[in-house]
Structure 1
Amino acid sequence: MSEASSCHTLPLAVTMGDPAGIGPEIVARMFLRRPAQRRWIVVGDALVMGHALAARDPVARVRRIATPAEARFDDGVLNVLASSECVALPPVGRVSAESGRAAYAAILTAIRLARGGAIRGMVTAPIHKEALAAAGLHYPGHTEILAEQAGGVDVAMMLANEDIHVVLVTIHCSLRDAIRRADHPAQMVAIRLAHAGARALGIERPRVAVAGLNPHAGEGGLFGDEEARIIVPAIAQARSEGIDASGPWPGDTVFMQARQKRFDVVVAQYHDQGLIPLKYMGLAQGVNITLGLPFVRTSPDHGTAFDIAGYGVADSSSLETAFDYALRLTGAAA
Structure 2
Amino acid sequence: MFDKPIIGITMGDPASIGPEIAVKALLNKEVYDICKPILVGDADVFNDIIKRLHLDAKINPIQNVEEAKFEFGNIDVYDLQNVKMNKLVFGEVSAMAGNAAFGAVKKVIDLAMMGDIDATVTGPINKKSINEAGHHFAGHTEIYAHFTNTRKYAMLLVEDNLKVIHVSTHVSLRQACDLVKKDRILEVIELLYNGLISLGETNLKIGIAGLNPHAGDSGLFGTEDAEEILPAVQEALLRGYNVDGPIPPDTMFAKAATGAYGGVVAMYHDQGHIPFKLSGFQWDAEKKQMASVKGVNITLGLPIIRTSVDHGTAFEIAGKGIASADAMLLAIESAVQLSRYRKQIIV
- TM (norm. structure 1) is 0.93
Say whether the 8 Å CA contact 1:158–1:165 is kept in structure 2: yes
Show the 5 A alignment for 1:39-188. 39-57=36-54, 60-74=57-71, 76-89=73-86, 90-188=88-186
Task: Provide the C-alpha distance between the structure 2 equivalents of 1:22 and 1:36, rounded to a whole number of angstroms.
Answer: 19
How many angstroms does 1:142 deviate by? 0.4
Contact 1:65 1:71 in 2 (8 A): yes
Contact 2:161–2:262, Cα closer than 8 Å, also in 1? no
Equivalent in the alignment of 2:338: 329
Which of the numbers 28, 33, 53 marks the counterpart of 2:28? 33
**CA distance in 2 between partners of 1:197 and 1:162 (Å):** 15
Gaps of 5+ in 2: 282-292, 342-347
Work out which of the residue numbers 329, 342, 346 in structure 2 matches 1:320. 329
Residue 299 (structure 1) aligned to one of 259, 283, 308: 308
Q: CA deviation at 1:30?
A: 1.1
Tell me the number of residue pairs that the alignment of Structure 1 and Structure 2 aligns: 327
Q: Is the 8 A contact 2:296 2:330 kept in 1?
A: yes
Query: Percent of aligned pairs with the same residue?
Result: 40
Write the letter of the residue equivalent to 1:85: N
Q: Contact conserved, 1:209 with 1:265, CA < 8 A, in 2?
A: yes
Pair 1:230-2:228 in alignment? yes
Map of 1:251-262 to 2, 5 A cutoff? 251-262=249-260
Opposite residue 15 of structure 1, the aligned amino acid is T
Q: Following the alignment from structure 1 to structure 2, what is the Cα–Cα distance between the partners of residues 219 and 91?
A: 51
Displacement of 1:14:
0.4
Q: Shift in Å at residue 169 of structure 1?
A: 0.4
Partner Cα distance (1:255, 1:197) in 2: 19
**TM-score (ref. length: structure 2):** 0.90
Partner of residue 288, structure 2: none
* 1:3 alignment counterpart: none
- Distance in 2, matches of 1:114 and 1:36, equals 19
Q: Hey, what's the Cα distance between the residues in 2 that align with 1:180 and 1:298?
A: 28
* Rounded Cα–Cα distance in structure 2 between residues aligned with 1:29 and 1:9: 20
Among 19, 22, 31, the residue aligned to 2:17: 22
- Deviation for aligned residue 1:7: 7.8
Output the amino acid matched with 2:223. D
SS of the aligned residue for 2:338 comes to helix
Q: Deviations over 1:280-305 (max 9, x none)?
A: 12332211111111111111110000
Q: In 1, distance between residues paired with 2:55 and 2:334?
A: 30
Q: Structure 1 87/260 Cα, relative in aligned 2: closer, same or farther at 3 Å?
A: closer
**Greater shift in the superposed pair: 161-170 or 73-82:** 73-82
Question: Against the structure 1 CA distance between its residues 60 and 214, is the aligned structure 2 distance closer, same or farther, given a 3 Å change threshold?
Answer: same
**Within 5 Å, which residues of 2 pair with 1:184-203?**
184-203=182-201
Q: Distance in 2 between matches of 1:132 and 1:18?
A: 9
What root-mean-square deviation, in Å, do the aligned CA atoms of Structure 1 and Structure 2 show? Answer: 1.7
| 1:199 partner amino acid | I
SS in 2 for 1:29: helix
In 2, the alpha carbon distance for the partners of 1:185 and 1:84 equals 44
Contact 2:296 2:308 in 1 (8 A): yes
Question: 1:217: Cα distance to partner?
Answer: 0.4
Report the Cα distance in structure 1 between the residues aligned to 2:252 and 2:56, rounded to whole angstroms: 50
